[in-house]
Amino acid sequence: MLTSIISTTRTAASTALSMITDIGLSEYGVLVVIALIILLYAKEILSASKYWNKSVRAYLNGIMIPLLIAFAWIITLKVIEII
């Protein structure tokens, strides 16, 4: 009997938790967008300077690709949330 009550309580608690939790990327969306804007700006500025070379381009692209993926995921979640 006691095992049944504990099991039911755990199930109810996990159900309540899943109803109020979000996926998690949305709360950091602003930081992703700001970082992406700063990196795009830096890439534009550096591409016109004498410091631009293949390694700088590869470094900036390596940082920006995960941010672009996160940005696309955030936009997708927001669109799904609206629909």
> How would you write 9-36 as a 3-class SS string?
HHHHHHHHHHHHCCCCCHHHHHHHHHHH
Does residue 1 sit within a domain?
no
Task: Please give the pLDDT value at position 2.
Answer: 45
Total domains, the chain: 1
- Looking at every residue in the chain, the average pLDDT score rounds to 77
Tell me the per-residue pLDDT of 21-41, one tens digit each, with 9 for 90 and over. Answer: 455 555 678 888 899 999 999
Is residue 5 domain-resident? no
Give the domain range for residue 63: 23-82
d(CA 65, CA 39) in angstroms, rounded, equals 11
